Amino acid sequence: MAPDRPAGAAFERGHPDPHASSSRPARQAESLSAPTSQVALPAHLESPARAGGGAGAHNGRSGAFSEGDEMLFDRAESKRHRPRDFARRMVATGIGLGLVAFLGARAAAAAESADYPARPIRVIVGFAPGGSADLTARALGQKMAELLGQPVVVDNRAGASGIIGTDLAARATPDGYTLLEATMTTHGIGPNLYKKLPYDPIGSFAPIALMVRIPLVLFAHASVPASSLKQLIAHLKANPAKYRYASAGNGSPPHLAAELFKLKAGVELLHVPYKGTGAAVPDVVAGQIHFMIDGPPPFLGHVKAGRLRALATANAKRLAQLPDVPTFGEQGLDGMEAGLWYGMLAPKGTPRAIVDRLNAAINQALRDPDVIARFTAASIEVVGGTPEELGRYVAAEIKRWGEVARAAKIQIE
């Protein structure tokens, strides 16, 4: 395509083609012998020297260009600006297309968010059915379904301490239809025990809401000669490494909580890991294992029957189910607050409008009297809150349990 030359084109149309055969020889001769008519340089192109007719005058002519000079100058200017103008046009076109794409994506996301949810929502739970994580997700999911008008389906993806399910959620499309129930294991302890995770526990997710907590309790077999935390610590110090504690497995919350107790109290205990709390309870009740720090539900019946003693609650306040059991802090051992917790996350990039919609539904479900009664009966504390609060909570949990794991030299390859 020929370059645009408005000034030059207009000039050439009014003057003879220098390369064409001429039918006007006299005019040509005149142009060779007579002085050429002079055309003033446009003001915006005229240099100070030329405008003044001084040292910068062209071909010795003062203050003006000839017709031929003007034509050559115009062509040179057109060629000089051609690459720059082309680049500018390309940049402008790119910016325009980018803006159109951006606005289109924003409009599509806004429209999708406005219609959300339009189909069932999947909540991935990284643990087997029947546990506290599964029961919490199902109880809240049922109420959320009523509020959102779409089914909320729990998808159990157990394995590798929740890593399998967490990775699946991290890779899901960030459209609000795949969520993850985060736990103390997946987003508190796990990131400190495994050298390489296939996801970033913070960066791969968008926080929605912290849902509930289950404060841990120190349970001891009735044969242990201690009826208070103070007596227990004194007895353990007098008998180092003679007593055993159970956990739900290496790197599990009961394991880290017991290691925290050892560090805070300055005592020595032997660790016996089991494959889950359910597998450990019978041996604790039988006295083969002396202690366990875990959530209350599996132990309450045995406490009432006198087979076990609840010596301290790892919470800021006493539990409704164990009102006579003081907290660790009340008994002089600070910094022992620990609890299983469950929060809701979405894959990173989920639109904020969808996050806010889910947050509102979760908080509303947590205020429902039936939900509160159901959780309270299971020693589960209702929490709730904003996405930002959950984000800060997860970061603090990772930091805290990392310190415990390093002090206790716990790591899982």
Domain ranges of the chain: 1-14+26-115, 121-413
Q: How far apart are CA 301 and CA 303, in angstroms?
A: 5
| CA gap 211, 372 in Å, rounded | 12
Structure tokens at 93: 């076109």
What are the residue ranges in the chain where pLDDT is below 70? 1-87, 89-112, 413
What single-letter amino acid sits at 254? P
131-189 per-position pLDDT tens digit: 899 999 999 999 999 999 999 999 999 999 999 999 999 999 999 999 999 999 999 99
> Which CATH code fits 121-413?
3.40.190.150
- State the pLDDT at residue 396: 98
Q: Is 191 exposed, middle or buried (0-12, 13-18, 19+ CB in 10 A)?
A: buried
Which of 347, 341, 277, 339 is CA-nearest to residue 123? 347
pTM of model > 0.75: no
Q: What is the pLDDT of residue 84?
A: 64
What is the rounded CA–CA span in Å between residue 115 and residue 109? 10
Q: How many whole angstroms separate alpha carbon 154 and alpha carbon 85?
A: 59
